[in-house]
Chain A
Amino acid sequence: AQKITQTQPGMFVQEKEAVTLDCTYDTSDQSYGLFWYKQPSSGEMIFLIYQGSYDEQNATEGRYSLNFQKARKSANLVISASQLGDSAMYFCAMRENLNTGGFKTIFGAGTRLFVKA
């Protein structure tokens, strides 16, 4: 069965510094995708970044980048130049293919990030 592991329940980072949130995954599929979502205290789920298993380059979206190491089965999120508004829960997730076609998303337990002024 596919699985997502986030080993950091909470992280602190100083404003304007970079931070890495860890994510490892387990799958036997050759084709898969990895996501990161942000959940602020207001509760909504915000899509941040996506990496396909066949993408050769690491995905980047503004201050977010995904450090994808396929052989190690890791997909860490790097946030550069942290801002106070980055304080939130962050979830790593993986696309699991369905027998009926399409996919569902498997979520990790999350990492709560605190950005200090």
Chain B
Amino acid sequence: NAGVTQTPKFRILKIGQSMTLQCTQDMNHNYMYWYRQDPGMGLKLIYYSVGAGITDKGEVPNGYNVSRSTTEDFPLRLELAAPSQTSVYFCASRDRDRVYEQYFGPGTRLTVT
């Protein structure tokens, strides 16, 4: 099992550009999450999904979009990048029946200048 993989690892965007952060898990997990971590802070939930075709907003969804067409993939889209979106982005997944085993990807470090 590769677990949760994220691409790219690093990215620099100019203001107004768009990009998609990829997240894939090979554990057949129902639940997937996107978090952002600002410097010196904990993680904040952007969007989550409880299964293919079902997504919902977290605490800080503005400026982002997601889709979940398959169980494995949960891409995060930034349409008009802003400096406030400079952060480290973590994708995570969890099996529906295993409450505490949330697996995190390695993160994507995004800088918007």
A binds B: yes
| With known contacts A33-B99, A33-B100, A35-B100, A105–B90 Cβ distance under 8 A | no
- Contact partner of A50 among B31, B33, B96, B100, CB < 8 A? B100
Q: Between A and B, how many residue pairs show CB distances below 8 Å?
A: 60
Q: How far is the CA of A110 from the CA of B101 in the complex (A)?
A: 20
B contact patch SS: strand
A contact patch SS: strand
Contact between B45 and A105, CB atoms less than 8 A apart: yes
Q: How far is the CA of A91 from the CA of B42 in the complex (A)?
A: 7
Q: Number of contact residues on B: which range applies?
A: 20 to 34
Contact between B106 and A47, CB atoms less than 8 A apart: no
- Whether, in the assembled complex, A101 has its beta carbon less than 8 Å from a beta carbon of chain B, the answer is yes
Q: Chain B interface (Cβ within 8 Å of chain A)?
A: 30-31, 33, 35, 40-45, 48, 50, 54, 56, 58, 88, 90, 92, 94, 96, 99-102, 104, 106-107, 109
Rank and list the top 10 A-B pairs by shortest CB-CB distance, nearest first: A107-B42, A50-B100, A45-B104, A107-B43, A109-B42, A104-B45, A43-B107, A108-B42, A102-B50, A91-B42
